[in-house]
Amino acid sequence: MIRDLPSKLKDLRIKAGYSQTEVAKKIGISPPIVSTYESGTKSPSLESLIALAQLYKCSTDYLLGLTDVTTRKTLQPFSDEQAMALISFINNNRAN
């Protein structure tokens, strides 16, 4: 069992305001499976772990106990206009 995973999953679910049934429906598993994850009797599959991290907007590293930081850091994507300008700049400045 992954250390502290059951309590993290339950805390994240409660903070998000979801029932176990809602979590199950959102990630495509049965409600009893969510209960086994939160009680620590079963560990989530890789697919479920990723789905839970996405649902709770946290990293899998947090769920796995590799970091204490709950939020994911993301880079703001370029707007379409900025991306096109960057691509154009790169294409125009390539060494042939």
Tokens representing 63?
Answer: 């769920």
Element (H, E) at 25: helix 20-27
Confidence label for 75 from pLDDT (cuts 50, 70 and 90) = very low
Q: Are 36 and 43 in contact (CB under 8 A)?
A: no
The pLDDT value recorded for residue 3 is: 82
- Rounded Cα distance between 35 and 50, Å, is 17
CATH architecture of 1-96: Orthogonal Bundle (1.10)
Residue scoring higher pLDDT (70 or 15): 15
What does the pLDDT look like over 39-67, one tens digit per residue?
A: 999 999 999 999 999 999 998 999 999 88
Q: Whole-angstrom Cα distance, residue 28 to residue 68?
A: 27
Q: How confident is the model at residue 70 (pLDDT cuts 50, 70, 90)?
A: confident
* Per-residue pLDDT tens digits for 76-91: 566 767 767 776 777 7
Lowest-confidence segment of 3-12, 15-24, 28-37, 73-82 by average pLDDT: 73-82
Model pLDDT for residues 27-40, shown as the tens digit of each residue? 999 999 999 999 99
Helix, strand, coil percent content, the chain, rounded in steps of 5: 60, 0, 40
Q: What pLDDT sits at residue 2?
A: 80
Phi, psi of 72 (to 5 degrees): -85, 145
